[in-house]
Every structure is written in structure tokens, then in C-alpha cells.
Amino acid sequence: MSVADIFMPSVASLNAGAMGIILGFLALEYSLINEKVFVALVITAIATSMMSGPLIQWAMGGRALFAKKALAKNDRGFEREGIAE
């Protein structure tokens, strides 16, 4: 098992930024956290959401390129068969 295979599940869970912002907002509204902590949560959520795409591509390595080619091939097949809109 490669480092990328071990790293992939944690990378895939990085894009939970919206949920972090929502929970942070609720915690701020109920005075469980102060504004400084809320700002830190929002910055962390945005940063991790922005990092998740490139990190997933890195973790997948050549498999990402293979998946893109396979999807493109399937799309043309659907168009040929009249399935695509």
C-alpha cells in the first residue's frame, strides 16, 4: 500500500468546509465561541476546501488522468447511442 493510498481517505474528507462554517456560525450565535475563533474556523474551512482538489489529484496520481479519459470515452459513446441530451 503506497503513501498516497493511505493518505487518500483523509484528503477526501478535507472538503467539509461548508459544514465547519455552519457549525462555527451556530457556535458563535449561542456564544460558545468568540469572534476570533469563528474567524479562525472560517479561514481553516476555506483553506482546506481549496487544498482538497490538488491534494486528491496528487493522491490519485495517474489514476486521475485515466478516469478523465474513461469519462470522455463514455460520454462519446452515449452521444453515439443517442443517450446524451
Query: What is the reported pLDDT for 66?
Result: 58
Predicted local confidence at residue 84, as pLDDT: 46
pLDDT averages per 10-residue partition of the chain, 85 residues: 71 74 94 96 88 75 61 57 47
3-state per-residue secondary structure call for 18-69? HHHHHHHHHHHHCCCCCHHHHHHHHHHHHHHHHHHHHHHHHHHCHHHHHHHH
Q: What pLDDT shows up at residue 29?
A: 97
pLDDT at position 42 is 93
Are the C-beta atoms of residues 52 and 11 closer than 8 Å to each other?
Answer: yes
Task: Report d(CA 74, CA 85) in Å as an integer.
Answer: 14
Q: What is the pLDDT of residue 72?
A: 65
Q: What is the pLDDT of residue 20?
A: 85
